[in-house]
Structure 1
Amino acid sequence: MKRLTYLLLSGLTLASMAGCSKDDAIPAGPKEYQVEYRISSTTAPSSDYISYDNESGGSTTLNNVPLPANYRFKRTMKQGDHVGLLASLDGGTSTSEITATILLDGREVKKETGRGADAQAVPVYVIGQ
């Protein structure tokens, strides 16, 4: 009888643990995030074009931006919302590169590096991804 009770309790424990997943930790409702974008290049002094999702959910576009560049703001988002960034170099060489990084609450969630004469980095992160 003790063995049967032990097996049943073990089975219930495993079943309850299997129901828990990483997604359970993602808030379904709105949450305020500290959003940070970082743009850098080891081969170019500036980016000819940067466009990013801003604090209101709209888009901010900048031209001829000295690198490295950082943009920080707070934005309230819920699961399924996204943040994205496009950074490019124009008229580079085949060895030109640009890197764009998205951080949420200080944690890197997406990073891309574009290479080539017209290099582009376009990271996008969806909340709950």
Structure 2
Amino acid sequence: MKRMPQLASLLLSCATLTTASCSKENAAPSGPKEYQLEDRVTSTTAPESDYLSYDNESGGTTALNHVPLPATYHFKYPRKPGDQLSLLASLDGGEAAAEITASILLDGRAVKKETSRSANAPAVPVYVIGQ
């Protein structure tokens, strides 16, 4: 019986530590974090994208014309919650059955993917970090 207060105190201490560590794990980081960003563009109907633009590693936008498909761009990217990532890929004219898929991956995990099927086929996935 003399050990009951000590045991209760020990259990209370363990519960407090567990709760504190859980709340820290679930809290979203407020500052920038370096992500491994990967943009992928594919098409089952066209050999190239007539226009492609993506957010690059310096925070600017890279725009390219006549890009052979499939195309993949990857780099490290420091961003914080609430920051937006976007990718735009299109096909020029073509058939009504034209198809293009654009995907954004963060740290190897697909976070946004869009497939478009039309004569001009623009695919524009946009992802907000922490979404």
Per the TM superposition, whether the score is higher than 0.5 is yes
Q: Give the Cα–Cα distance (whole angstroms) in 1 for the partners of residues 109 and 61 of structure 2.
A: 22
Q: What is the total number of aligned residue pairs between the two structures?
A: 116
TM-score by length of 1: 0.81
Structure 1 pair 78–93 and aligned structure 2 pair: CA distance change class (3 A) = same
Q: Give the Cα–Cα distance (whole angstroms) in 2 for the partners of residues 75 and 81 of structure 1.
A: 11
Structure 1 pair 95–25 and aligned structure 2 pair: CA distance change class (3 A) = farther
Q: Give the Cα–Cα distance (whole angstroms) in 1 for the partners of residues 51 and 91 of structure 2.
A: 7
The corresponding residue for 1:68 is 70
1:53-108 Cα shifts (integer Å, max 9, x gaps)? 11111100000000000000101000111111000001111110000000000000
The corresponding residue for 1:3 is none
Moved over 6 A (4+): none
The corresponding residue for 2:106 is 104
Residue 25 (structure 1) shift: 4.8
Residue 109 (structure 1) shift: 0.2
Residue 42 (structure 1) shift: 0.2
TM-score by length of 2: 0.80
Q: What is the aligned-residue RMSD (CA, Å)?
A: 2.3
Q: Percent identity?
A: 69
Structure 2 residues not aligned, in runs of 5+: 1-18
Q: Secondary structure at the match of 1:121?
A: coil
